[in-house]
Structure formats: C-alpha cells, structure tokens
Amino acid sequence: MLRVRDLSVSFGGVMPLDDVTFELPDGVCGLVGPNGAGKTTFFNVLSGFVRPSAGAVEADGTSLLSMAPHRRARWGLRRTFQQEQVVHSLSAYDNVRIAADEVGAAGDQVREALAFVGLDDAQRRGRHLTMLERRLTEIARSVVGRPRLVLLDEPGAGLAEEETERLVALIRKIPERFGAQVILVDHDMELVSAVCGNTVVLDFGRVIALGPTADVLSDEHVKRAYLGTEEVV
Ligand SMILES: Nc1ncnc2c1ncn2[C@@H]1O[C@H](COP(=O)(O)OP(=O)(O)O)[C@@H](O)[C@H]1O
Ligand SMILES: [Mg+2]
C-alpha cells in the first residue's frame, strides 16, 4: 500500500505536484496523465532526486521521505528511467550486478533477476543488446535483491507491439514473485489496461481520477485532459 498525503513540489513558480493526496493498493498500479502532468517528478520525489515543499509518502507503513535516498534503495525502492539507462560498455550481467552491489544483493540474486526476465546470454555488452533486451535488463535491475516498491517510468518506450506483450507478462508477475508493489507510468493505455488493477491520473500536478483502470480511462475528465495531445485514451 502506498499512501501519498498533501504532496507538493515547487520549481520557482511552477507546481509540478500541487497538494496531491491518493492511496494505491498492492499489486501493479498505473500512474498516467498528459505530458508535463508531474509523473516523473513524483518518481523523483520518491527516489530522492527532488525534495518536496510539503507532504508525506508512506510505503508499506514506512515513511519514505524521512529516509536518506541511499537508504531507500536498501529498504527496497527501485526505479527505472524514461530514457534507457543500460551501460553500453558493460555486459547485461554487470549492469544488473552494479545495481545489486548498491543494495547489498549477492551474485545468485543477479542470476535470479536475469532468469526472471528471460535474458539469455547475459554476457553480451549493452551496446549489442536490442532495445527489448535493454528494457529487460532494466527490469532485472529493478527487481534484484529484495524490492518492495518498483517504479517503472515508461518501460515500454521504443518497443514494438509484440515486444510490449512480453513486458506485460513480466510486469504482472513482479508483485507475486518478489512481494513488491509496482507503479507503472506509461503512455500506452493498452499496456496500462493490461497490467494495472488501479490507476491514478494526474493533470497539471493534480489528481483528476483514481480507481479501477477501466473506469478511470473512460472518465470524461480524463478524456478531456488528453484532448489536444497526441496521446489518446
Ligand atoms: N527540474 C525541473 N525544473 C523546473 N521544472 C521542471 C523540472 N522537472 C520538471 N519540471 C516541470 O514540471 C512539470 C512536470 O514534469 P514531469 O514530472 O517531467 O511530467 P511528466 O513526467 O508527467 O511528463 C513540467 O511542467 C516540467 O516542465
Ligand atoms: Mg515523465
């Protein structure tokens, strides 16, 4: 369970998060909204890159924001980034091992994470991996060790449709397999519908809808928020 209370972020005059309050149950939940809605900023607050001006975030009963960022990783916070972050000069194995080292996880956990995503031949370097294999490497990094809260920021970006299906199957398995809650940010509403039981919608830093994904995506406020953007609900 993730509880967000009165969370605000201010960059000069801009409020990318404006007094946001919501709760997301365990399992995989979606976080969607038009470009600039504040989704990545929310992830940045949770991982400690951005300091909020007010508010609290409680994950699994623990106050995340009172923990130093490096302790959040040890606690079990994981994230991936919108831009693919695989180190091209290192093997897939070493990409995951570096993440494992940061959280004190051992070599067998690296192999377990790679087996989970189905990445065969993890000795190939990042630069020789396909985009799907790079995205799988990132998922492996996000589940290595003992993850408790996994934040995925557009993990399907740059993938073809049949590749996205593989991602769907994988992301759905994370809660049961690792006991972690997953929050998925994506513009691909088919991906969000296929994976997320509940979804919260942000628009201009405010929550405009929250609930079962199918209800939320057919909500008139949500459709209106997407009007005039290239992303269609
Ligand atoms: N470091 C920053 N400094 C100033 N403004 C920022 C910064 N990061 C994000 N923003 C602004 O905050 C708003 C939300 O951005 P972001 O969280 O990246 O949106 P999303 O991920 O939903 O597309 C945007 O208006 C963006 O321009
Ligand atoms: Mg973003």
Note whether residue 231 is domain-resident: no
How far is the CA of 3 from the CAs of 24, 45, 83, 165, 222, in angstroms?
Answer: 7, 14, 27, 30, 22
Q: Distance from the CA of 120 to the center of ligand 2, in angstroms?
A: 30
The answer to whether the CB of 36 is under 6 A from ligand 1 is: yes
Predicted confidence band of residue 13 (pLDDT cuts 50, 70, 90): confident
Q: Distance from the CA of 48 to the center of ligand 1, in angstroms?
A: 15
Angle at 226 between CA 219 and CA 168, to 5 degrees: 75
Q: How many CB atoms lie within 10 A of CB 213?
A: 21
Note whether residue 232 is domain-resident: no
Tokens coding 146: 């003992």
Sequence letter at residue 170? L
Note whether residue 132 is domain-resident: yes
* pLDDT reported for residue 229: 75
Average pLDDT value for the chain: 95
Tell which wins on pLDDT, 233 or 152. 152
CA distance 117 to 128: 17
Index of the ligand 1 atom closest to the CA of residue 153: 21
Note whether residue 72 is domain-resident: yes
Q: Distance from the CA of 42 to the center of ligand 1, in angstroms?
A: 10
Q: How do residues 61-83 score in pLDDT, each as one tens digit?
A: 999 999 999 899 999 999 999 89
CA distance 39 to 31: 7
* pLDDT reported for residue 70: 87
Instruction: Report the predicted TM-score, pTM, of the whole model to 2 decimal places.
Output: 0.95
Closest-CA residue to 46 (of 54, 36, 56): 56
For residue 230, is pLDDT > 80? no
Strand partners, 8: 54
* pLDDT reported for residue 122: 96
Index of the ligand 1 atom closest to the CA of residue 37: 22
> Closest residue (by CA) to atom 7 of ligand 1?
11
Helix, strand or coil for residue 75? helix
The answer to whether the CB of 29 is under 6 A from ligand 1 is: no
Closest-CA residue to 50 (of 39, 59, 41): 41
Note whether residue 9 is domain-resident: yes
Average pLDDT of the residues in 40-47: 97
- Measured in residues, the chain has a length of 233
Q: How do residues 126-163 score in pLDDT, each as one tens digit?
A: 999 999 999 999 999 999 999 999 999 999 988 999 99
The answer to whether the CB of 187 is under 6 A from ligand 1 is: no
Index of the ligand 1 atom closest to the CA of residue 42: 17
Range of 9's domain? 2-226
Note whether residue 50 is domain-resident: yes
Average pLDDT of the residues in 117-125: 94
> Residue 184 sits in a domain of what CATH number?
3.40.50.300
Residue-wise over 58-84: b if at least 16 C-beta within 10 A, else e?
A: bbbeeebbebeeeebbebbbbbbeeeb
Q: How do residues 156-195 score in pLDDT, each as one tens digit?
A: 988 999 999 999 999 999 999 999 999 999 999 999 999 9
Sequence letter at residue 186? D
Average pLDDT of the residues in 31-59: 97
Residues 6 or more apart whose Cβ sits within 8 Å of residue 102: 70, 73
Predicted confidence band of residue 232 (pLDDT cuts 50, 70, 90): low
Which of 7, 9, 10, 11, when mutated, tests ligand 1's pocket best, judged by the most ligand atoms within 8 Å of its CB? 11
Note whether residue 33 is domain-resident: yes
* pLDDT reported for residue 233: 67
* Tally of structural domains, the chain: 1
The answer to whether the CB of 44 is under 6 A from ligand 1 is: no
Note whether residue 233 is domain-resident: no
